[in-house]
Each structure stands twice: as structure tokens, then as C-alpha cells.
Amino acid sequence: MRRVVTSTGFEQLLRGAGLRVTRPRVAVLGAVYAHPHADTDSIISAVRRDLPDVSHQAVYDSLRTLTVVGLVRRIQPAGSVARYESRVGDNHHHLVCRSCGAITDVDCAVGEAPCLTASDDRGYAVDEAEVIYWGLCPACSTEASENTPDPPMPGGESHVRDQ
């Protein structure tokens, strides 16, 4: 469920994290909330709709600062660019489509954060476990099954599905 936050709410979040309220920070927070799992280029485009003159560097700096203080979470599935989300603090995981790259949040399967306990933590104080489930999203899975030719019929004959 997506949280609706107003610009006043973003200002309160920034102040609560001990940050100065700036137009780029408010715009970046707004973009991350509006576009879950967006990459940096998508966030820059969204921010520029409100602040046309904002620099790439201002957006990068805002994302880094917001990530450091925990207002934004940065994820980077293998083979993907960094992406940002506003769902923080609950150690949820992600489903990633191997075909289209769609990313979806998924709650921990069992237990409390970090929801996975290492068989041997080697003395680390584990506070987070990252799990990424890979597969095909429903749309890509349906498309793949529709485009897969039927196996050959016994006797070497083959047939093709009607399109």
C-alpha cells in the first residue's frame, strides 16, 4: 500500500531527520514516493517536471543524503542500476522480473527482521538480510507461454498454435 505524503509531510520528514529543507530534497522525496523502485534518471526526470533547472548533481546529492539518514532505501539487484524506494525500516524484500525488469515489494516470509538467521554469523551483529526473488512477472510469464511453440508430436510431426 502506497503512502500519500504531501510536500508539508516531506518537509516534516526532512526536519525530523535533522536535515535542512531544500526544494531539491522535497522534490526528490516526492519523486521517490511517486515512483517506487525508480532509477536515478527517472527520478531526475520527475524532479525536473517541478524544478526544471535542478542539476543532476543536486539530485544525486539529495538521494545520497536521504539514503544515509534512512528516508530512502537504495537497492541494486544484480545487473541493474541503483533504484530508490520510500519503503524503509521494515526489511522487506523484492521480486524482480528477469524479462522486463519490473520490481515488486514482498514482505518477509517468516519471522522478525532480519527474517533470515545466518547459520554462522561469525560474530557480526546482523541487522538486515537482503533477499531478491528472480523470475517472470505475470505479464511476461503469460507472454512467454503464448510464444512458446508446442513440443513435437509423437512420430516427428509438429504443430503450431493458432495465433
Q: Collapse the DSSP code of 17 into the 3-class scheme (helix H, G, I; strand E, B; otherwise coil) and give the result.
A: coil
Residues of the chain with CATH 1.10.10.10: 7-75
- Compute CA distances 133 → 13, 53, 130, 136, 140, whole Å: 31, 38, 10, 10, 15
pLDDT tens readout for residues 135-151: 999 999 888 777 766 55
Nearest in space to 127 (alpha carbons), one of 76, 91, 84:
91
In tens, the pLDDT along 48-69 reads 999 999 999 999 999 999 999 9
82 has a pLDDT exceeding 50: yes
CATH code for the part of the protein at 7-75: 1.10.10.10
Q: Provide CATH 3.30.1490.190 ranges for the chain.
A: 89-146
Q: For the ranges 95-104, 110-119, 123-132, which has the lowest average pLDDT? A: 110-119
Residues 6 or more apart whose CB falls under 8 angstroms from that of 142 comprise none
Top-level class of domain 89-146: alpha beta
